[in-house]
Amino acid sequence: MHLPRTAAAATTALIIIILTAADIQISTASPNQQLPNFTAVIIFGDSTVDTGNNNYLPDAVFRADHPPYGENFPTGQPTGRFSDGKLLPDFFASILGIKQLVPPFLHPNLSDSDIRTGVSFASAGTGYDDLTATIAQAISMDEQVELFEKYVVRLRSIMGDDAAKETVQGALVAVSAGANDFVYNYYDLMTRRLEFDLSGYQDFLLSKVQTLVKRIYNMGGRTIVVGGLPPIGCLPIQMTVELQNPLERRCVETQNLGSQSYNAKLKKLLAKLQSSLAGSRVAYSNVYDPLLEMITHPTKYGFVETKQGCCGSGLVEMAALCNAESPSCGKEMASNYVFWDSVHPTSTAYQILATNLSQQLASALSSASPPSS
């Protein structure tokens, strides 16, 4: 059961939508490695891959359906994407040659073409822990799988059973979640610290990951990429919340170490899952290193600012997201920033990650057996 909107909204300053790893980074591919010809892109996760589903949740705590979000989107309008423009699923779908934009499944006017080529079930504020979704009044991961089931039903009505099965088996399925769980329930609100130490909470979440991957596999998904955690302690909001002097802008290293230890466990889990799920290709995505590289060596990528977002620029951000009154560095200057708001990357940063992602995913899949039924 979700919290009342008023109660959930009261926690907004500390409830953070975290960059998680639909930003799929694995290992650098050689020039002759090619990505498979995927039939569709199917996305599960949080705000980093929510292309607008929260627009259709009347009680969702987090929404990006207002300016200045979307300033650099092709239409110049907010779409529910938590950035100034496109998100990583959009860039990656374009790189794969599937389509330019990945629509939210809850959009009321999805075309048959949208369904055939894939959608996002993601919801800003969610996580593997059901408590995380409850706090944010977001779509839980279990509920996202239920939406996937509805998607498959419609896909069958459009294409027939056999073609729909081939489409799902040939799709790239990406899962981006986990960081909200740590910020909501361990680092900031600390709800789960009453039950778990850090390692125990990591294991609790990994059991959820395992169940999710198996459910997706049982519904026909064969190429499944699961993202690890980013350097949580380098998010501008965490610098503000966790440091005694919020004007001292530096990464919170204890949180970064927590991300690293979780990622090591996740990588091992996914390797075991692939070996146990016949015909699957289950890949770990390492967003931690490339994002930290952009933050640590910004000029190498054309960035100037790494410790605060473009939206809210000049302020020590105490809220995760921007509202219509938030000051902005300006749409032309956004490309100088790694972060758009105090949590989410700019569209420029996402594009860099997507390019890197496509090379690294090719490398990861080149050594895996082709998926089969």
For the sheet with 281-285, list strands across it.
41-45, 172-176, 223-227, 281-285
Contact assessment for residue 170 and residue 117, using Cβ atoms and an 8 Å cutoff: no
* Measured distance CA(370)–CA(373) in Å, rounded: 10
Nearest to 23 by CA among 91, 73, 96: 91
Q: Quick one: what percent of the chain has pLDDT higher than 90?
A: 73
Query: Structure pTM?
Result: 0.89
Residue 21: its pLDDT value, please?
Answer: 36
Catalytic choice (47, 123, 285, 335): 47
Least confident stretch, 32-46, 69-83, 218-232, 283-297: 32-46
Mean pLDDT within 146-159: 98
Task: Say whether pLDDT at 29 is over 60.
Answer: no
Q: How much is the pLDDT for 36?
A: 86
The answer to whether residue 140 is catalytic is no
Structure tokens at 335: 């490309």
pLDDT at 2: 41
Give residue 140's pLDDT band: very low, low, confident or very high (50, 70, 90): very high
Is 341 in the active site? Answer: yes
The Cα 370–Cα 279 span in angstroms is 7
Report yes or no: 225 and 24 within 8 Å, Cβ to Cβ: yes
Intra-chain end-to-end CA distance of the chain, in Å: 37
Q: What is the pLDDT of residue 365?
A: 83
The pLDDT assigned to 10 comes to: 35
Can 344 be counted among the known catalytic residues? yes
* Residue where the block lists tokens 């050594």: 367
Res 340 pLDDT > 60: yes
Sign of torsion over alpha carbons 353, 72, 181, 238? positive
pLDDT at residue 141 in the model? 98
Task: Provide the β-strand partners of residue 44.
Answer: 175
**Catalytic: which of 120, 123, 344, 347?**
344
Q: How many CB atoms lie within 10 A of CB 356?
A: 20
All domains in the chain, ordered by first residue:
17-297 (3.40.50)
Percent of the chain with pLDDT over 70: 87
Label each residue of the chain as H, E or C. CCCCHHHHHCCCCCCCCCCCCCCCCCCCCCCCCCCCCCCCEEEEECCCCCCCHHHHCCCCCCCCCCCCCCCCCCCCCCCCCCCCCCCHHHHHHHHCCCCCCCCECCCCCCCHHHHHHCCECCCCCCCCCHHHHHHHCCCCHHHHHHHHHHHHHHHHHHHCHHHHHHHHHCCEEEEECCHHHHHHHHHHCCHHHHCCCHHHHHHHHHHHHHHHHHHHHHCCCCEEEEECCCCHHHCHHHHHHHCCCCCCCCCCHHHHHHHHHHHHHHHHHHHHHHHHCCCCEEEEECCHHHHHHHHHCHHHHCCCECCCCCECCCCCCCCCCCCCCCCECCCCCHHHECECCCCCECHHHHHHHHHHHHHHHHHHHHCCCCCCC
Residue 23 has pLDDT above 80, yes or no: no
- 271 or 317, which is more confident? 271
Beta-bridged to residue 43, according to DSSP, are 120, 174
Residue 359 pLDDT > 60, yes or no? yes
Could you say which of 23, 341, 342, 347 is catalytic? 341
